[in-house]
Structure 1
């Protein structure tokens, strides 16, 4: 893959933008590659150059990437003011449950219904045994909720951050997470999760709650803070001034780095679960 500047907006010219309507709701989805499908859900404040870079790594590993536009300006370098405005809009959007007190207690964000439909469509279009998905930060837990869709086989939770006001909250109803655990056990599947040790949004309490709910089916990877990239976009420098984004903004793209090893583990996870 050609190296690109992470300081300039990404034109996403090697992705095919599609308007996909599911259950009466239309969203733009950037699609690239071939092979089994992997849905890449961006972190706040949107599809940054770092998120696009990760999607290209997935594509180059032999997968069809479906990268939905859920918020923000696609391809934009995360600016401090623009990113903060995107965050505020998402906090009051009916599609997301940013806080524990919004809607039904412990329920998933409504957008996950659309994302499960996207997983079904991607499986129909790409074939293979099933679909993988990775959620990051704001979308981190969405990949777990998507396990209610039978086509979903490989969920990755990268620094899952919702609900913002409950460090041990899981943003999924008790009934749904019990259903997910049953499926994981019956089909011998696992959930891969990533976070930095000193992350102030995705804290140890959240991973402990996942481990209690899912048992040994929850596979956690906690990276030391010293592994995080300090050269980050303005949004992260001002609003997320601590290690947070394992495979995107805080990844150090150099051989031997722990974040690169984490990325490679994610790609290998997709490969194991989605190989024909």
Structure 2
């Protein structure tokens, strides 16, 4: 492990399934995989990961795209999204299958669980990675997926309620719920066009009481955040007691404790 460009984290390359990526780590306790949103591990994503670690978890923050700690901007976001869209590791328009990079993330979750122990692993995805925690319930010990504004496969007609997971991954999620006590937490702003409400309706139909969906009125988004109301736990968080986004953050940490600190 070496000092990372993210304050308070250490980093090491992880070679899994023939692909090597840097993983930034902080904290002790059951493992939680935190997957950044587009454009990358911004200061806000790093601050959220720090909160998770300080709540009693070992955070594993893989470098999936972008540059660590580079602030968000329109140009950076567009460039990062363009690279992801042409990458073979991301299938951004796939409705009924996950992105290939999920295989690597499953392997990371298995490694994290073997090292950290506990009843299972948490997996937090945001925006482009928002559905990945659900897909990671197949062939990995993920029992606490958090789907924050899950945005794939976009909101085109015919895809608004799609979950970006395969039938096998859906079946694995049901098995984890029935046999291992897994639960699923979802977060979104009500007016977020990238994560339509019909996607959460589908999750409720699919998983019933095992899915907990938190939907926040757009007026409660941080007005100083980048763009329209979207990033519940990062860019549009108002970190003040009594604010709905702060309540969503607190509920996320409580959900992880309920699932992983048993």
Aligned to 2:224: 231
| Equivalent residues in 2 for 1:165-184, closer than 5 Å | 165=156, 166-184=159-177
Aligned residues: CA RMSD = 1.4
Among 72, 76, 84, the alignment partner of 2:70 is: 76
Aligned to 2:235: 249
Q: Deviations over 1:145-165 (max 9, x none)?
A: 111134211110000000023
| Equivalent residues in 2 for 1:145-156, closer than 5 Å | 145-156=135-146
Among 234, 244, 248, the alignment partner of 1:258 is: 244
Q: 2-side partners of 1:254 and 1:218: how far apart?
A: 26
Aligned to 1:37: 31
SS at match of 1:271: helix
> 1:175 offset after TM fit, Å?
3.0
Matched positions, count: 256
Among 6, 22, 25, the alignment partner of 1:12 is: 6
The farther-off stretch of 192-201 and 171-180 is: 171-180
Return the TM-score normalized by structure 2.
Answer: 0.94
1:63 matched to 2:54? no
SS at match of 2:136: helix
> 1:23 offset after TM fit, Å?
1.1
Instruction: Kindly indicate whether the alpha-carbon contact (under 8 Å) linking 2:96 and 2:164 is maintained by their aligned counterparts in 1.
Output: yes
Among 173, 180, 185, the alignment partner of 1:187 is: 180
1:115 matched to 2:105? yes
Q: 2-side partners of 1:179 and 1:63: how far apart?
A: 25
SS at match of 2:198: helix
Among 11, 36, 48, the alignment partner of 1:54 is: 48
Q: 1-side partners of 2:102 and 2:17: how far apart?
A: 12
> 1:183 offset after TM fit, Å?
2.3
Closer/same/farther in 2, CA of residues 11 and 22 from structure 1, 3 Å limit:
closer
Q: 2-side partners of 1:15 and 1:67: how far apart?
A: 9
Instruction: Kindly indicate whether the alpha-carbon contact (under 8 Å) linking 1:167 and 1:205 is maintained by their aligned counterparts in 2.
Output: yes
Return the TM-score normalized by structure 1.
Answer: 0.89
> What 5-or-longer segments of structure 2 have no aligned partner?
none
Aligned to 1:206: 199
Aligned to 2:89: 95
